[in-house]
Amino acid sequence: MIQVILGKKGSGKTKRLIDQANESIKIEHGVIVFVDDDTRYMYDLRHEIRFVNAGEFVPGEHRSSDWFYGLLAGMLAVNFDITLIYVDAFAKLIQLTDWNETEELFQRLESLSASHNVNLVLSVSADAEELPDFITRYAV
């Protein structure tokens, strides 16, 4: 399952994502991963949550939808116990230029989520009116 937390920059999406991740420790029985583009919020997360600084792996100008998908798929390939992945700064991580170009990525993420029994929670900096339906259907 995919969930998307929507809101303009500065609307509290990251805080909500961090709070939700920290609360999920109480009910989640698998490994929880939090992916961000830097280490700014690493110490706001409980120590049981695996923090991944995606910025370490490839410079910003080389990031793409394919790279992001590969990052998540690679994590799931080596750790079958991951059941929940939080992603902050989603648009930044994929170097987004147009939301309409992400439909295939969302389809691939939905398939990855279903086949590996993992839930994905993405932080998206935009209002629902700015986004295509294939994204807003995941909004929480």
pLDDT at residue 60 tops 70: no
Report the Cα–Cα distance between both ends of the chain, in Å, rounded.
Answer: 12
Measured between alpha carbons, how far is residue 136 from residues 11, 31, 62, 94, 139 in Å? Answer: 17, 27, 27, 18, 5
φ and ψ of 35, to 5 deg: -105, 130
Per-residue pLDDT at 124 exceeds 70: yes
| pTM for the model | 0.94
Give the rounded percent of residues in the chain with a pLDDT score beyond 70. 99
The pLDDT assigned to 62 comes to: 78
Question: Are 10 and 127 a contacting pair, CB within 8 Å?
Answer: no
pLDDT value, residue 6: 93
Q: For residue 45, give its domain range.
A: 2-136
Distance in angstroms (rounded) separating the CA atoms of residues 14 and 3: 14
Per DSSP (E only), the strands in 1-140 are 2-7, 31-36, 50-53, 82-87, 119-125
Q: For 66-111, how does the pLDDT look when each residue is reduced to its tens digit (9 = 90+)? A: 999 999 999 999 999 999 999 999 998 998 889 999 999 999 999 9
Quote the number of domains for the chain. Answer: 1
What CATH number does the domain containing 108 carry? 3.40.50.300
3-class DSSP assignment, residue 134: helix
